Amino acid sequence: MEGLTKIAELGKPRVVIVGGGFGGLQLAKELADAPVQVVLIDKQNYHGFWPLLYQVGTAGLNADSIVSPFRKILNEQENFYFRMAEVRCIDPALQVVETSIGQVRYDYLVLATGTTSNYFGDKQMEKNSISLKSVTDAIELRNTLLSNFEQALQIGDQAQLNSLLDFVIVGGGPTGVEMAGALSELRAHVFPRDYPELDLKQMDIHLVQSGPVLLKGMSAEASEHALKYLQEMNVQVWLDNRVTSYDGYTVKLKSGENLVARTLIWAAGVTGAPIAGLDPAALLKSNRYQVNEFSQVAGYTNVFAIGDIAQMATPAYPEGHPQVAQPAIQQGRLLGENLKRLLRKEPLEAFEYQDKGTMATIGRHRAVGDIILFGKQFHITGWLGWLGWSLVHILALVSFRNRIAVFIAWAWNYITQDKGMRYIIGKPKSPLKEQEVETKAIV
């Protein structure tokens, strides 16, 4: 291990938080008035609002509208220290974490590292598909999407043309459904203006879902409406089907059909992003840490895990809480209070998840939501659902600047049916080689 990193010792207990996502950031804020030093370590220098990532990937929003630098969010919090580094290993005996910039000592360690894409061991899929887990992924998707259309203008061969214009999305959860809706809106409103030389009837959008319904985990009403909306928007939905292989061109389906697409978006699952060093018995098959009702990792009293990386089995959630933002935020908030209680030597409070419901938007005036109010579930769809979804997401953004930026982008999009962020900055996933692009005369 390398030497200790240069972080001032304040003579106060040090809480090291690994990961500044929804859980880690909430915890750091909660500890503002605690007699502790808060050290947040993240491999990125910003907090990302992932529910709107697909809009960056489909040219609806600029990346900087959905991210905020940690130093800006917490620069007024006196006990807050940030280090941009990757945490690689934990030594619980020495109470240090090994990072890409050296060791960091802790008194209390909180793991809030979230998840990564799960390809279920399919290396070819991992290599050839585009996932949606980071800003880099979203920008790569946008570059690929727009480059495909630029290249399509130069292609005469029909099969090659189809491979550029067709898109396959794997996974019918909220990300897959929202992505399919956004691509369909581009096809209906934006691309006809940008590419009048192309026949957009040839642009096919396929959504492949392994189970019998979309939006598994939401109500039957929400699933049915999502399917209806996507069908109205000419998205081809393949239920009870699976992609068995993808070589970057041919998509083989379990049902026997082959699709042809140079772009496959992988939204089919996530797995925990644990860090080596803790007792392997604490890590469950799901790659999530087993935690108790106080978020303590099994076998430790000063190591905690919150959010997507934590699996807290309760009678209502025997397999752990859903891997969405609210459990992470609520666990971060309670752990902040519990750490203060721990320092005051008071009993800790057990976590109880307050489910507020789930929403997904499919396109303009089309959204579904299962909302829980006063202990009762309400279903909203259509225009009301879409308005509710928009409001909830604007309010949930971390900074005022981002709220304004997103509001303006959406208002502009609503009035003009335009998506203004159609830049190709950087490279697409797999650009066509020069010899693959025929030179078609411009007529």
Catalytic residue from among 178, 352, 434, 436? 178
Q: How far apart are CA 413 and CA 407, in angstroms?
A: 10
Q: How many CB atoms lie within 10 A of CB 320?
A: 18
CA distance 211 to 385: 24
Q: 27 or 165, CB closer to ligand FAD?
A: 27
Residue 103 and residue 5: Cα distance in Å, rounded? 6
Q: Least distance from C-beta 268 to ligand FAD, angstroms?
A: 12
User: At its nearest, how many Å lie between ligand FAD and the CB of residue 69?
Assistant: 12
Encoded tokens for 160: 């090659």
Q: Kindly state the tokens that stand for 194.
A: 């940008």
Which residue number, 24 or 181, has a Cβ lying nearer to ligand FAD?
A: 24
The answer to whether 209 and 171 are in contact (CB under 8 A) is yes
Work out how close the CB of 379 gets to ligand FAD at its nearest, in angstroms, rounded to a whole number: 17
**Nearer Cβ to ligand FAD, position 41 or 74?**
41
Q: Which is nearer to ligand FAD, 309 or 367 (CB)?
A: 309
Q: Among all residues, whose Cβ is closest to ligand FAD?
A: 21
In the complex, least distance from residue 162 CB atom to ligand FAD, rounded to whole angstroms: 27
CA nearest 423: which of 189, 140, 45? 140
Q: Which is nearer to ligand FAD, 99 or 147 (CB)?
A: 99
Q: Specify the residue, 24 or 160, whose C-beta has the smaller distance to ligand FAD.
A: 24
Smallest Cα–Cα separation from 424: which of 66, 145, 54? 145
**Shortest CB 333 distance to ligand FAD, Å:** 12
Element (H, E) at 165: helix 158-165
The gap between the terminal CA atoms of the chain, to the nearest Å, is 64
What's the CA gap between 281 and 255, in Å, rounded?
Answer: 39
Count of C-beta atoms within a 10 Å radius of residue 321: 22
User: Least distance (Å) from ligand FAD to the CB of residue 146?
Assistant: 19
Q: Which residues contact 288 (CB under 8 A, 6 or more apart)?
A: 272, 274, 305, 308, 309, 310, 311, 320
Closest CA to 95 of 112, 84, 109, 85: 109
Provide, rounded to whole angstroms, the least separation between the CB of residue 88 and ligand FAD.
Answer: 7
User: In the numeric block, which tokens belong to residue 394?
Assistant: 């604007």
Fill in the amino acid letter for 4. Answer: L
Say which DSSP state 187 is in. Answer: I
**98 is an active site residue:** no
Which residue, 133 or 419, has its beta carbon nearer to ligand FAD? 133
In angstroms, the CA 271 to CA 218 distance is 20
Residues found in the chain: 443
Where on the chain is the footprint of ligand FAD (CB under 6 A)? 18-24, 41-44, 50-51, 53-54, 86-87, 112-114, 132-133, 174-175, 273, 275, 307-309, 323-326, 328
Catalytic annotation, residues: 178
